[in-house]
Amino acid sequence: MPKKIALNIYVLLGLALLLGSCGVSRSLKDLPDVSTYETKLPPRQQLSDSTYRLGTNFLTKNPQGLYELYVSGNPYELGLKTGSLTQELFREQERVFVEKIDELVPSKGKQKMLRKFLAWFNRKMYKNIDEQYKAEIYGISQYASKDYDRIAAPYPRVMYFHGAHDIGHALQDLALVGCSSFAAWGPHTKDGKLIIGRNFDFYAGDDFAKNKIIAFVAPDQGHKFMSVSWGGMIGVVSGMNDQGLTVTINAGKSKFPLVAKTPISLVTREILQYASSIDEAIAIAKKREVFVSESIFVGSAKDKKAALIEVSPHNFGVYEVENDNQLVCSNHFQSDAYTDDKKNQKHIFESHSKYRYERMEELLEDTPKVTPESAVSILRNKDGLEDKLIGYGNEKALNQMLAHHGIVFQPEDLLVWVSSNPYQLGEFVAYDLKEVFGTADQNQKARPISSPDRTIAPDPFLRTLAYRHYERYRKLRRQITEAMVSEEEIEPALWTEFIAVNPDFWEVYFLKGKYYYKNRNYKEALDAFEKAKTKEVTTVPDKEAIDTYIKKLKRKLK
């Protein structure tokens, strides 16, 4: 992912945490009333360095490095139990964010200005969050690190943390995520059952994705469900409930909002907890006011199909296919409600969303009978249209080599597969929700609850020279971009190696061109930009930037 995007993600996530006194005091006055909830928590027992038990609830780390969390109870209990069991992971997640924020926004004056703006922007968020989720957030916040109370009190800090995705999306409309999702059913799958695959390509640094939590939640009201999460998070970005209803989110193009409302991850959490069909999911989404544009990809065992709920602050649409038996979604809207939406049309033209959409269609056409294994292969695909080599890390690829996670659902059998590190390349660990929710409360040993016999093997790509080259490329990229920021000299040999380990990626030549342009070596810069133009450039603005440099350089070299 381009460094400018990763940096902006950290800054905007920082904004979500750096709350001003106005926002903090308002949220503290709105503390949820948890007095009605019974909470008799036993002390947490540590069974190993990565396994904890709290009565019949537990957290453990499986052999693939994924944390498996099981919690049950009322909203406040869910928060307290989650906070207690995952407190080390939660505090580590906060540390990662805050340290990066301090690094990227070192100015105390700028932090003060941002705090004031975010206090104003978030002033009504608390009014748009359901009381049960406030109680759960309040429970988790009891285990937040005291080291960051200087930023904000724990409860508002955790609440606004849930709007970080939306805030980053809303304030600068960045391509924070380039998520890709698809579903196939009927004649398009081997057994006729619905299969859904999705990559969550949210990148906020390697440490952010290090400790993934597969949460299995048994609330005292609504449906039991699983979701892929991280410390401090109760919202849902990818999940399935015990009714075979699945939800995932794909960011769309947004207008700038004037106020934060319901974070999208809490809308999808409500859908997962209380809906069992597409119609019920639509009804829940309709009653919530959001402040960003998002496609909610819903799969349903009861309906035996998938649909898109496309929400934005001022519009709402539903997109379903009639006879095709497959549904594809990237990061643009498809329903009639957005046919004349100029922002959506511009996004289709300028971004890499349409390219990934067409690539999914292409791969599904080459896979006439989708299985969970072939769905994983699609999610792992690193090439461009017609199998073109477009460089590793290109955002036009389905596998951009930066995903937080990939996931595959088979709702009618309540089966789910979740990727393990690195990226989507490690094993896809299988879980059977019938087994998990049927036996978890009796699981006193807090052992891993995956289904090893269904696990999908790692990508063979991990054993190749190309993979080692990609890892070397990432290290060199950090080294080179840091040197460019600090205006240090970069030896020609370093550029040669940088290009050699990822020769099909346009950005390696673009960075080289920028470096030599700034250092007034115009001939070398022009050669690099012209080479970049021959590659699969990610977006129209990127292409325009290359063309602008080339025009300037040709004038200078006359």
Query: 172 near 8, Cβ under 8 Å?
Result: yes
Is residue 231 over pLDDT 80?
yes
Residues of the chain with pLDDT > 90, as a percent, come to 64
Query: 196 near 246, Cβ under 8 Å?
Result: yes
Is residue 544 over pLDDT 70?
yes
Is residue 177 over pLDDT 60?
no
Q: What pLDDT does 94 receive?
A: 86
- Half-sphere exposure of residue 372: CA atoms within 13 angstroms, side-chain side: 22
Is residue 111 over pLDDT 80?
no
- Look at 259 and 315; give whichever has higher pLDDT: 315
CA distance 365 to 314: 35
Q: For residue 189, give every residue at least 6 positions away whose Cβ sits within 8 Å of its Cβ, in sequence order, or none.
A: 195, 369, 370, 371
Q: What pLDDT does 501 receive?
A: 98
- Look at 40 and 166; give whichever has higher pLDDT: 40
How large is the average pLDDT for residues 283-310? 93
Q: What pLDDT does 440 receive?
A: 57
How large is the average pLDDT for residues 139-162? 85
Q: Which of 110-119, 465-474, 540-549 has the lowest mean pLDDT?
A: 110-119
Q: What pLDDT does 117 receive?
A: 64
Residue 37 DSSP code: S
Summarised one tens digit per residue, pLDDT across range 475-484 is: 999 999 999 9
Is residue 416 over pLDDT 90?
yes
Summarised one tens digit per residue, pLDDT across range 367-406 is: 989 999 999 999 999 999 999 999 999 999 999 998 789 9
Summarised one tens digit per residue, pLDDT across range 2-48 is: 444 444 444 444 444 443 333 444 445 578 889 899 888 889 999 99
Predicted confidence band of residue 208 (pLDDT cuts 50, 70, 90): confident
What's the Cα-to-Cα distance from 437 to each of 42, 320, 432, 441, rounded to whole Å?
A: 21, 31, 9, 8
Summarised one tens digit per residue, pLDDT across range 507-518 is: 999 999 999 999
The tokens for 389 are 């080599």
Q: What pLDDT does 314 receive?
A: 86
**Phi/psi zone of residue 192: left (φ > 0), alpha (ψ -120 to 50 degrees), beta?**
left
Query: 411 near 244, Cβ under 8 Å?
Result: yes
Over the chain, what is the mean pLDDT? 87
What's the Cα-to-Cα distance from 5 to each of 115, 163, 177, rounded to whole Å?
A: 21, 18, 10
- Look at 201 and 455; give whichever has higher pLDDT: 455
What is the Rg, in whole angstroms, of the alpha carbon atoms belonging to the chain?
Answer: 23
Q: What pLDDT does 7 receive?
A: 41
Enumerate the β-bridge partners of residue 184.
195, 326
Is residue 112 over pLDDT 70?
no
Residues of the chain with pLDDT > 70, as a percent, come to 84
Q: What pLDDT does 122 receive?
A: 63
- Look at 23 and 66; give whichever has higher pLDDT: 66
- Look at 288 and 106; give whichever has higher pLDDT: 288
Pairing status of strand 305-312 against strand 245-251: unpaired
Most confident of 47-56, 286-295, 383-392: 383-392
CA distance 37 to 184: 42
Predicted confidence band of residue 351 (pLDDT cuts 50, 70, 90): confident
Q: What pLDDT does 179 receive?
A: 85
Is residue 205 over pLDDT 80?
no
Q: For residue 203, give every residue at least 6 positions away whose Cβ sits within 8 Å of its Cβ, in sequence order, or none.
A: 1, 5, 6, 9, 176, 209, 402, 403, 404
Is residue 537 over pLDDT 60?
yes
Q: What pLDDT does 199 receive?
A: 93
Query: 135 near 32, Cβ under 8 Å?
Result: yes
Q: What pLDDT does 435 receive?
A: 93
Q: Is 432 helix (H, G, I), strand (E, B) or coil?
A: strand
How large is the average pLDDT for residues 124-135? 83
Summarised one tens digit per residue, pLDDT across range 70-98 is: 999 999 999 999 999 999 999 998 888 77
Is residue 462 over pLDDT 80?
yes
361-371 core/surface letters (b: 16 or more CB in 10 A; e: else): ebbbeebeebb
Q: What pLDDT does 103 receive?
A: 65
Q: For residue 81, give every residue at least 6 positions away whose Cβ sits within 8 Å of its Cβ, in sequence order, or none.
A: 41, 54, 57, 71, 72, 73, 139
Is residue 277 over pLDDT 80?
yes
Taking the alpha carbons of 372, 183, 190, 276 in that order, is the dihedral positive or negative?
positive
Is residue 444 over pLDDT 60?
no
Is residue 167 over pLDDT 70?
no
CA distance 59 to 274: 25
Q: What pLDDT does 331 receive?
A: 85
Q: What pLDDT does 80 receive?
A: 97
